[in-house]
Structure 1
Amino acid sequence: MRRRTFLALPALGLVPCAVLSACSRAPTPGRAHGVSQGAGQDGAVRITYGDDPSQLVELHRPSTASRGVVVVIHGGFWKSAYDHTLGTPLARALAERGWTAWNIEYRRVGNGGGTPETFDDVAAAIDALADVDGLDLSTVVTLGHSAGGHLAVWAAGRPDPGVRVTHAISQAGVLDLVASDRAGLGGGAAAALLGHPAGAGDAQWDPQQQIPLDVPVWAVHAPDDDTVPFAQAEAYVDAATAAGAEATLVEVTGGHFGVIDPDSDAWAAQLEVLDAIG
């Protein structure tokens, strides 16, 4: 059954300047290579999972018992101009709500990323959770914005994971690489990620072509998004539910960036989703 959640929310005000854009050596999956206490922001622990400067994670722990792990995956059309600091405000907010936040960085197009390096890094960063003491991995939620939404849903469907994703939340995500490429989103960002025009041969990288997943997916998106069309979320949820998967469309307002503003009603809607999960 298709489930659609509509939230009539007021328009947001100014977007912080840090989010003004839409947002090589292969690592050893599931192996954290080093930990530097105090290297992250706000007392977060910085963990590396490979030798490249982009193969790092910032771990934000709650002050109370953890409700589960949320893997924060930033956007920016997979481009090296944008980094994990886009996800830092969400990681802080999640820790304040009792979640362990795992804010990941990965190689992007322009600094050694692309296919398969970007995907290898996201997989390895998630699998590195297994090397952190004191984490309960029974609930692992991927939460990604824009290109990070694509990676969040992709990660939920990857085969033979070291750490299994149990739920995925796409925040204005690019869920259809073929449609994205045809529309020229991000100046041809999908083709730059793949190294060629997106097509049927890219099923292993494209959430729309991986339907159905056995992991619940929430597609949080605003109809007034002028960066990634709302139709991406609608088409994904329609196809997923028609195929028997559990997928929910959470309709918000606030454009492309309201979903990553911790002070927004769009973020409050996502907290409701997380409350239902854990």
Structure 2
Amino acid sequence: MSSDKDARRSVRTLLEILDLDSSDARTTEDIFTGTSHPMPTGRIYGGQVLGQSLVAAERTLPAGRVAHSMHGYFLRAGDASQGLTFAVDRIHDGRSFSTRRCQAFQNGVPIFSMIASFQDDNPGIEHAVPMPEGIPGPEDLPTDEELSEGIHPLSRRMLADRPVDMRHVEGPIYLGAGQEQVPHQAVWMRMRAPFPDDPALHRAALAYLSDMTIQESILRAHGLSWATPGLKVASLDHGMWWHRPGRVDDWLLYVQQSPNARGGRGLASGRIYDRAGTLIASVAQEITVRVPEA
């Protein structure tokens, strides 16, 4: 298991990655640059680019405006050994709403494209789907690391190095043995070390977390695991709606389900609750799933 020192180091690395640099180059767009997590696979983790793109867009906003929705497309696999450039287009600033487009580039070509909307804090009607009942708390569940015996060494390294403590309610599908074939799951998650109080950082980090495990309700429905020989999974797009403030260094419950899979694609949706049962965000993602013929 990760030590407290390793946990703080991994969270510090994430904070450094979210702290983008501004470019002084004269252009019609706002330009920012950033780095990536070192990844054993060499490919950039999609949630990282989601969080960085949100940080870049929010730096161009009028004071007091925060993200309420985004939709992004993963266009190409990113190289984690190279830097990234983020170009933000200020599409619209109205009395209550702002719209931004952000594209992430490597080697002059876009790897991710996002459009996001931001709003002033306004009163209005309010309701939310309650958190499911009967789900065990995170203290009653083993960590994913404790259940990772037998998985590929690269996967074990990724689990050990990530800044997130994650606990699957139904058990992780790293190996897939004995898992019930159902199109849903729930996962507790939080950052492994305290996060600064800046709400913008918590929104970006929540986007980072939202890409973790969301694909698994699709795989679980068909008895697939990450160890299935020849399995190929790639994220196509990602939608997210921020409903209420939340902290990523407190426990969050990510409730996920897959309503459909067809044509080599699967759709997953998720709701993120804080420990008190408050709905703080909703997520949707479509992925490609290729399974070799038996």
The reply to whether TM is greater than 0.5 is no
Q: Name the one with the larger helix percent.
A: 1
Q: Name the one with the larger strand percent.
A: 2
TM-score, normalising length from structure 2?
0.29
> Which has the higher Rg, Structure 1 or Structure 2?
2
TM-score, normalising length from structure 1?
0.30
Asked which structure has the greater RCO (Cα within 8 Å, sep 6+), the reply is 1
